[in-house]
Amino acid sequence: SDDGNLGDNTWTTAVGSNRNTGKLASAPKANPINVLRVYELAGGNTLSVDPGSYLFFESIAASTSEPTELGLDTGFILRGAGEASTLFDFDSVTFGDAIGIELVDGDFTEFRDFTVIGGDIGALIDEDTNDALFENITFTSPGSVGVQVGDDVQDLVLRNLTVTGAGEYGFRFSGTFGHDFDLDAENLVATGSGLDGLYVSGFGNVELDGGVFSNNGRHGIRYSENISSPGSPWTNLLIENNFHHGVAEAADLTLEDSVIRNNGGNGIDGVLIAVTVRGTTISGHFIGIRSLGGSAVIENSTIIDNGTGTSLPEVTVSGSYFRNNGIGLAGVGDGTITNTVLADSQIAGVTSSNNPGTTIDIENVTFSFDGGLGVSMGGGTLTVANSIFSWENGAAISLGGSSTVVSDYNLFNSIGGAPISNVGASIVTWRAVTGGDANSFIGDPFFIDAANGDYHLQSIVGAWDENTQTFVPSANQSPGIDRGDPGDAVGLEPVTNGNRINLGAYGGTAEASKSPVQFILFNAPLAGSTLIHGDSVEIRWSSFGLTGNFDIEISSTGLGGTFTTLEGNTADDGSYFWTVSGALTAGTDYALRIVSLDFPAVEAILATFTISEPVSDYFINVDGDLNLGDNVYTTATGSDANDGLSAATPMATLGALLGAYDLKPGDRIFIDVGNYTTTATILIGSQDAGVEIIGAGEALTTLIYTSTAEAFRILDAPGVSLTGFTLNASAASIGISVDGASSGFSADAITINTPNIGIAIAATATGATINDTEINGAGRGIDSLTASVT
């Protein structure tokens, strides 16, 4: 003790004096350094220091093998009366590069409950020190480092330590090769350091639970090369307001339940490293997570308000929430994204690398944005399932380069007519161009509160409420409920769940919106479809909680009209094939209804669609055609929102037209002047046998196929004829493939530019005729397995 106020003392009952022995509370010495000079402390000894400010002219040193000026002291406990009241002052006296506390081979020594002021290094723990403890200590304004740990330090515990205003590092842990360190740290605080709050380098292992690293002059945490992976994840950290990066690393690292925000550079930044974050929020950075050439696993985390959420060539994301980033996930070369929200991205939710080997798998993801893109592919393959795209301006998916997409069971909500994609504006075009999304549909997903970032789906039975953490009934029933791939498990969805996974970020999770106990859902045809007299149309539905059969009914005057029976007492097997009768008057306001016979209050309605009289001629023109004067067949610009049934209402893509109608022998498709690009194979199947596809001439109509499979595939479709166009298929394996029972194929006055096979004819495709046709650049012009080719 050094004061005259005995009333605030914790350990002693008298004023300290160097004449005292220091062995009794009634005979304390005036400075703890004097006890260490006089006695060699060992295990079982405790040095207690009462409130007061104590000047030090030398280090508090402990060692069992290297005698100091204080002798050999180790294994003892040095405790103060509290960080606010017991002050060890190494700053008031100048004596060179002072070390406040120095342990060299200082095994089993404990320090707690005081403040160290000044010195060059607040505490140095080095060289074969084992099982030491530092607890409840504040280090104020050390000239260099607050706490430094070096070689061969094992089983060190640092708990509730604070460093403020260090000249370089708040905490520095480093070990050389063959001299690893190992420590367990809890609740470290480093603020106002000249360089890094925590700098870990060399060879060693650090377990860290709890800490604040803020307002440091360079990085919050710098995690350098060669460091061993932590024995367990670093958890419960707050890393904020540092001048450069929150975490700068050159070795793999796992963070859990932490917050990294408002640092001057990136949240986490590294090169060729693997990052794992779980339950962590990263916000307010140029890039949330960046690893040049590295990878990341992101689970149940929130990444918001960054210029770019992540910039990673390889990433796995699950259960996470991205909002208000310029780009959510940028430059992805190998990515898997599940059960995640990607909202309000100004440029794109996901962008790919330009590598043709890129693969991005997206499942149960919610995209919501105004402007920009949901997914932008520069190359490679995109797979999308069970997801929701809701957007105003921009497009859901952009395909560039040699990109291909496999997509189905998705909900598209285009607000204000924004296109689904740069290669297909409408869902009809998109299906035709990509060959996917046969079970996807257009509709409002009815988010709980998109404006305030809640993308759970409304449910009249109950939707998850973030505020009450319970399920609360909504005003609407989202069409995204029970619309996922029926082959996917419902996972953790609560009852009632309809035995079918929901779309969007919360499908398959414990926060999935609930299903009615009984329901019927229409799956096909789509609202807005055009059906032709004589067409065979599959009506498809799904149901839950019902017994007995159904009635299928039709109205020619919309939802408010009179419904009459189309097929009565049909089995609830999910499918009914309907031949559109010529007795039905052509019209644009037809509706279908399916009603349960056992539960008449349960029904599903499809509205509205068009029924048209039979035609033989169909028309295609370029979308946005600026020069109608050179047209040969059509009188208006093309759009896949048109029906394609007249020269005044041409569609825009061949794939969309083939997907919209089942054509019959003698039907003709006229393709007007222009360039038409597709990434999907144009498939002509048995339902379109005998169709004639006629361009405006080889120099006027050009079909451009950008992928690597067959540009045309004619399968089990006899009598198909192709005439009067150029096919550019610069990467295709085959320009035109004639396969199966496709007898009587005809190609006349066409040009094919392709590097591999121009026309491939299977042995079963007999009677082919090829006239006035030019094939350029192919390894094999015509590859026929049948002799009957003329």
Residue 511: inside a domain, yes or no?
yes
Task: Give the separation between CA 235 and CA 173, rounded to whole angstroms.
Answer: 18
Q: Which two tokens stand for residue 767?
A: 């009677």
For residue 642, give its domain range.
617-784
My answer on whether omega of the bond before 608 falls inside 30° of 0, hence cis, is yes
How far is residue 49's CA from residue 598's CA, in Å, rounded to a whole number? Answer: 85
Query: Which amino acid belongs to residue 45?
Result: N
Among 461, 489, 516, the domain-final residue is 516
In this predicted model, what pLDDT tens digit does every residue of 208-220 receive, in sequence order? 999 999 999 999 9
Give the C-alpha separation, 466 to 152, whole Å. Answer: 49
Same domain as 558, residue 528: yes
Encoded tokens for 748: 């006349």
For the cut 80, the answer to whether the pLDDT of residue 197 exceeds it is yes
CB 325 within 8 A of CB 347: no
Beta carbons within 10 angstroms of residue 737's beta carbon:
25
Task: Return the pLDDT at 324.
Answer: 98
Q: Does 481 share its domain with 601?
A: no
C-beta separation of 322 from 303 below 8 A: yes
356 token code pair: 């043709």
Q: Does residue 164 fall inside a structural domain?
A: no
The pLDDT tens digits of the residues spanning 597-647 come to 999 999 999 888 999 998 899 999 999 898 999 999 999 999 988 999 999
Could you list the beta-strand ranges (E) of 203-307: 204-214, 221-223, 234-240, 247-249, 253-256, 259-261, 268-271, 274-278, 281-283, 287-292, 295-299, 302-304
| CATH number reported for the structural domain that contains residue 695 in this entry | 2.160.20.10
Whether residue 243 is contained in a domain is answered as no
Examine residue 75 and state whether it is found in any structural domain, yes or no. Answer: no
Residue 94 counted as domain residue:
no
The tens digit of pLDDT for each residue in 525-567 reads: 888 888 999 888 999 999 999 999 999 999 999 988 999 999 9
pLDDT at 542: 92
25 φ, ψ (degrees, to nearest 5): -60, -25
- Three-class secondary structure of residue 257 per DSSP: coil
Looking at the fold, whether 485 and 606 belong to one and the same domain comes out as: no
Asked, for residue 747, whether it belongs to a domain, the answer is yes
Q: Rounded to two decimals, what is the model's pTM?
A: 0.85
Are 602 and 634 contained in the same domain? no
Q: In the predicted model, is pLDDT for residue 282 greater than 70? A: yes
| 662 and 606 belong to one structural domain | no
Say how many domains are in the chain.
3
Domain presence at residue 228: no
- Distance between CA atoms of residues 242 and 266, nearest Å: 10
pLDDT at residue 435, rounded to an integer: 81
Q: Say if residue 507 is exposed, middle or buried (CB neighbours under 10 Å; 0-12, 13-18, 19+).
A: buried
627 CB contacts (<8 Å, ≥6 apart)? none
Strand order in the sheet with 530-532: 530-532, 603-612, 587-596, 550-555, 564-570
Residues 363 and 443 in one domain: yes
Q: Say whether both 361 and 393 belong to one domain.
A: yes
Largest separation between any pair of C-alpha atoms in the chain: 121
Q: What is the 3-state secondary structure (H, E, C) of 3-38?
A: CCCHHHCCCCCCCCCCCCCCCCCCCCCCCHHHHHHH
Q: Judge whether residue 94 has pLDDT over 60.
A: no
Claim to verify: residue 365 and residue 488 sit in the same structural domain: yes
Tell me the percentage of the chain whose pLDDT exceeds 70: 96
Could you report the per-residue pLDDT of 142-185, keeping only the tens digit for each?
A: 999 999 998 888 999 999 999 999 999 999 998 776 677 888 99
What stretch of H or E contains 97? none
Place of tokens 């070369």: 333
- Tell me if 262 is assigned to some domain: no
Q: Are residues 601 and 652 in the same domain?
A: no
Task: Output the CA torsion sign for 487, 397, 645, 717.
Answer: negative
CATH number, position 533: 2.60.40.3720
d(Cα 665, Cα 687) in Å, to the nearest integer?
Answer: 10
Same domain flag for 337 and 424:
yes
Tokens for 446, please give them: 């009815």
700 contacts: CB under 8 Å, gap ≥ 6:
630, 632, 673, 674
CB burial readout 523-534, b (16+ within 10 A) else e: bebeeebbbbbe
| CA–CA gap between residue 154 and residue 183 (Å, rounded) | 6
Task: Identify whether residues 666 and 761 lie together within a single domain.
Answer: yes
pLDDT of residue 366: 99
**Residue 432 pLDDT:** 74
Last residue of a domain, one of 516, 551, 573: 516
Query: How high does pLDDT run on average in the chain?
Result: 92
For residues 693 and 710, membership in a common domain is answered with: yes
Cβ atoms of residues 171 and 146 within 8 Å: yes
The reported pLDDT for the residue numbered 356 is 86
> What phi, psi does 470 have (nearest 5°)?
-140, 175
From 589, 612, 635, give the residue that closes a domain.
Answer: 612
